[in-house]
Amino acid sequence: MHLWYVSYGSNLLAERFHTYLTGSDAASRFGVHPPAPDPTLPVDDRWLWIDHALYFAGVSKRWGGSSAFISWENGAEAPSLAHAYLITRDQFAHVAATENGVNHIDLPDGIGRGDWAPLPLPRTVEPHRGKYDALLRLPDIDGAPAWTVTSSVVRERGVPSDAYRATIARGLEDSTLPIDGETYLDVAVGRSRTITLPSRPGPATP
């Protein structure tokens, strides 16, 4: 079964996202990534806008600074540019696990479009682990389900490191949709200072 993984941070850059599938070693500028059980590259990709606001928060062990997230609430007034990749469900589970610094995740079922569910992650005191703990289902793309991961709460607000921001900017440069990448990121950094979410959100009923 194939689905769309919808990225909005450093994985906007296809070269960067491909390391989640093929793996990479310490010599890579993207750091060490374990390969997916199926390292096949996406069979298709798509650029699109999603009605969820981009912001930066938390701590990134890989990049330093804060990581990119999107609000799990719809926010059509502040849409985010996204890059969707058509991959298998097992590959997406691997991506979600890698984003959270764990070896494996069992994806929950029965999530309706526009809903979200918590991911089954172990408790940890390490701030870089388990931060992408919400599985969000987005509108289908060409009849196939579209998914992403984000945080269920707004973590400590911050700004991205120069290297992380530059990688996102490179991804934006490859977009097939018109965008002023630097202005877009400046607005997202500013939004990060004020964005709020309920402390313990509950997913809608499917």
The two three-digit tokens of residue 35, written as one number: 């390969």
Tell me the mean pLDDT per 10 residues along the chain, length 206: 96 96 81 89 97 92 90 83 98 94 87 89 63 94 96 88 96 95 96 76 44
Please, which residues have CB within 8 angstroms of residue 170's CB and are 6 or more apart in sequence? 13
Q: Which CATH number fits domain 2-192: 3.90.1580.10, 3.30.450.20, 3.10.490.10, 3.40.640.10?
A: 3.10.490.10
Does this model's pTM top 0.85?
yes
Opening angle at CA 46, ends 42 and 52, nearest 5: 115
Coil vs helix vs strand at 131:
coil
Give residue 185's pLDDT.
97
What is the distance between the alpha carbons of residues 65 and 120, in angstroms, rounded to a whole number? 26
Q: How far is CA 178 from the centre of its chain?
A: 21
Q: What is the pLDDT of residue 206?
A: 39
Return the H-helix or E-strand segment holding 184. Answer: helix 181-192
Spatial neighbors of 29 by CB under 8 A, at least 6 apart, are none
Spatial distance between the Cα atoms of 46 and 82, rounded to a whole number of angstroms: 8
Question: CA of 150: how far to CAs of 57, 68, 103, 164, 180, in Å?
Answer: 11, 8, 18, 17, 24
pLDDT value, residue 129: 67
Distance CA 110, CA 104 (A): 20
Which pLDDT does position 180 carry in this prediction? Answer: 95
> Which tokens in the block code for residue 94?
């691997």
Helix or strand holding residue 189 (H, E): helix 181-192
* Predicted pLDDT of residue 73: 82
Task: Please provide the DSSP assignment of 61-97 as one string.
Answer: TTTSBPEEEE-SS--TTS-EEEEEEEEEHHHHHHHHH
